Amino acid sequence: MTIHKEGYKTIAIATLVFTVLNLLSFFFISAAAPWLSWLLLIALFGLLLFIISFFRIPNRVMTVSDKQVICPADGKVVVIEEITDVEYFKDRRLQVSIFMSPANVHVNRNPMSGEVIYSQYHKGKYLVAWDPKSSTENERYSVVIKKGNTEILVKQIAGALAKRIVNYLRPGMKVTQNEELGFIKFGSRVDVLLPVGTHINVTLNEHVKGGVTVLATL
């Protein structure tokens, strides 16, 4: 397991705060209320471990297939439905949405290899990630990857806690399946828009792993 580069600054700040607060606790609280000082130490240490774990990248054997779309994120499948895409395709698409809790791995990966032909950041609200309106009203970053005649849209969506979306893709880039697409901090959701008629390999409420679980078969 390694730590994602997006976490270096956050972890450094969290470690500094942890150190300062515990030093203050030692000098000003421990003599009068040692139990409170120990309680603060344990609580802050738990919070620090949680922050570190949030940026973890576990070692995995990735699934690689030219004929399959791989899950771009860890989490729980909360939507499988046909929708009208108003952003890019302007027609009917099959949407699969993955909700990421703060406990999930939050690195996002390319669901298939191809060329990036669209990349757009949208300002927006911070509705809870499972709200259907979050797909079109929340802060989000959309990219379209094209391979042959197949185009899929991947949408990183901020949630009530997620306040920063990082996306590494730009139009014209050639990308490889399972390479990093981006990162979303502290809980959110990823939508994948597929051609209508695509065979979906996951089910509602299924827990999936980014880079491992097969989302759909082309």
Residue written as token pair 């690195």: 107
Distances (CA, A) of 189 to 11, 82, 105, 141: 23, 18, 12, 11
Question: What are the residue numbers of the active site?
Answer: 188
- What proportions of the chain, in percent to the nearest 5, are helix, strand and coil? 20, 40, 40
Q: How does 26-56 read in b/e, with b if 16+ C-beta sit within 10 Å?
A: eeebbeeeeeebeebbeebeeebeebeebbe
Give the chain's length. 218
